[in-house]
Amino acid sequence: MSIGSDLSKAKYILECDGLVAIPTETVYGLAANAFSNSAILKVYKAKDRPSFNPLIVHVKNIEAADEIAKIPAVLKELANHFWPGPLTLLVPKKEKISDLVTAGSDMVAIRMPNHPMTLELLSSLSFPLVAPSANLFGYVSPTNASHVQEGLGGSVDYILDGGQSEIGLESTIVSLQNNTIIVHRLGAITLFQLKTMSKLDLALNIQNNSNPVAPGMLDKHYSPACKLYLYKEDSDLQESNIGLIWFGADVPEGLHKTVHHFNLSKTGLLTEAASNLFCFLRQLDDLNLKHAYIKAVPNRDIGMAINDRINRAVAD
Ligand code: TXA
Ligand code: MG
């Protein structure tokens, strides 16, 4: 395994059915040839991902998406507007996509990521790439190359280093049902943006354990080994050796000196908070902390996606 920015090396490995971690604007993905079953199987194995949990396909442009799926006009308009970008379409698949990609479903998830290196790589290939987040199943998604190395260093052939992921949270996932946009995962493309662009009604279908439509979106997810609790007014911040992930300027006074304190955004910027969240969750584990509190952020715009990840990270 090595880390670098050699696109021809990445291309060669992918053409030989190998695994390459790729940078995207959301999080790093663990990529393989979406048309090769043997390459796809390696992805499930490397992530220790249950075979019932389908993979997102990454394409170089909308035409490439058309080759593998039947995309309703409304969703195509959204893609036209938001691609390349953090929007994933859940749409009926065509023959070219095997059941291994979709875990047996007739729907496939597709997006065109917005990262110059990965777009160049995709353009150089004759196939699209499956790429789930490049973390072990259930752990926090990686937002830089060293996160990938820590988790999957032993099983990935090459890590394409494209720096820190700009957004830091996974893409918004949508489908169309009865002329309604169904939102399956909250992300950087907000409900307001989807509503404004599509002019359709929206419905939230944020999956959890009790709703197996997208079995990957379990309640418990994105969790560090450190036990995380949602911060409440009466949380005991006098404990020693705990972590505290705060948001905004009004940091509680008189914290015990051994409290490890992080701030998602001192100035209350939600986009900054999104890009810090997964790094901070990982740092709790780097510090070997056993307990930590995290403050929810205002539940608007990308804040809804941040709170969704926080809720999954604190879930039992
Ligand atoms: O931003 C992102 O979407 C990142 C970057 C790498 O593109 N990828 C990502 O992939 O987050 P992953 O596998 O960690 O999350 C994809 C989610 C999973 O919860 C999976 O269950 C769901 O999308 N999904 C994928 N294909 C699906 C399908 N055919 N039907 C229903 N859910 C699907
Ligand atoms: Mg994931």
Q: What digits encode the pLDDT tens for the residues 27-84?
A: 999 999 999 999 999 999 999 998 899 999 999 999 999 999 999 999 999 999 999 9
From the number of C-beta atoms within 10 Å of its C-beta (0-12, 13-18, 19+), residue 236 rates as exposed
pTM: 0.96
Residue 219 has pLDDT above 80, yes or no: no
Residue 157 near residue 148, CB atoms below 8 Å: no
User: Does any ligand 1 atom lie closer than 6 A to the CB of residue 162?
Assistant: no
**Res 120: pLDDT:** 98
Q: Before 113, cis peptide (omega within 30)? A: no
What contacts 162, CB < 8 A, 6 or more positions away? 5, 22, 23, 115, 116, 117, 118, 145
What is the 246 CA–ligand 2 centroid distance (Å)?
Answer: 24
**Res 237: pLDDT:** 84
Going by CA atoms, what residue is nearest to atom 19 of ligand 1?
Answer: 216
CA 268/CA 58 separation, integer angstroms: 32
CA 47/CA 137 separation, integer angstroms: 6
Of 182-191, 235-244, 302-311, the range with the lowest mean pLDDT is 235-244
Q: How confident is the model at residue 252 (pLDDT cuts 50, 70, 90)?
A: confident
Alpha helix (H) residue ranges in the chain:
7-15, 37-47, 62-68, 73-82, 99-102, 116-124, 145-152, 191-198, 270-286, 302-314
CA 186/CA 167 separation, integer angstroms: 13
User: Does any ligand 1 atom lie closer than 6 A to the CB of residue 98?
Assistant: no
Residue 210 has pLDDT above 50, yes or no: no
- Mean pLDDT, rounded, of the chain: 94
CA 258/CA 278 separation, integer angstroms: 22
Of 78-92, 152-166, 224-238, 289-303, the range with the lowest mean pLDDT is 224-238
User: Does any ligand 1 atom lie closer than 6 A to the CB of residue 171?
Assistant: yes
What contacts 7, CB < 8 A, 6 or more positions away? 117, 120, 121, 124, 160
DSSP at 46? H
**Res 257: pLDDT:** 81
Out of 55, 56, 156, 309, mutate this one to test ligand 1's pocket (max ligand atoms within 8 Å of CB): namely 56
Between 110 and 255, residue with greater pLDDT: 110
CA 171 to chain centre: 6
**Res 212: pLDDT:** 42
What is the 299 CA–ligand 1 centroid distance (Å)?
Answer: 23
Q: Which residues of 131-154 are buried (b: 16+ CB within 10 A; e: fewer)?
A: bbbbbbbebbbbbbbebbbebbee
Nearest ligand 1 atom to alpha carbon 169: 1
CA 64 to chain centre: 22
Span 87-98, mean pLDDT? 98
User: Does any ligand 1 atom lie closer than 6 A to the CB of residue 23?
Assistant: no
Going by CA atoms, what residue is nearest to atom 24 of ligand 1?
Answer: 54
Q: How confident is the model at residue 223 (pLDDT cuts 50, 70, 90)?
A: confident
Span 86-110, mean pLDDT? 97
**Res 214: pLDDT:** 47
2: its two tokens:
């090595």
What contacts 24, CB < 8 A, 6 or more positions away? 58, 113, 114, 115, 118, 131, 165
CA 235/CA 122 separation, integer angstroms: 48
Residue 209 has pLDDT above 50, yes or no: no
Residue 239 has pLDDT above 90, yes or no: no
Half-sphere exposure of 117 (CA within 13 A, CB side): 23
**Res 218: pLDDT:** 54
**Res 220: pLDDT:** 65
CA 306 to chain centre: 12
CA 271/CA 155 separation, integer angstroms: 32
Residue 213 has pLDDT above 70, yes or no: no
Q: How confident is the model at residue 207 (pLDDT cuts 50, 70, 90)?
A: low
For 58, phi and psi rounded to 5 degrees? -105, 130
Residue 253 near residue 285, CB atoms below 8 Å: no
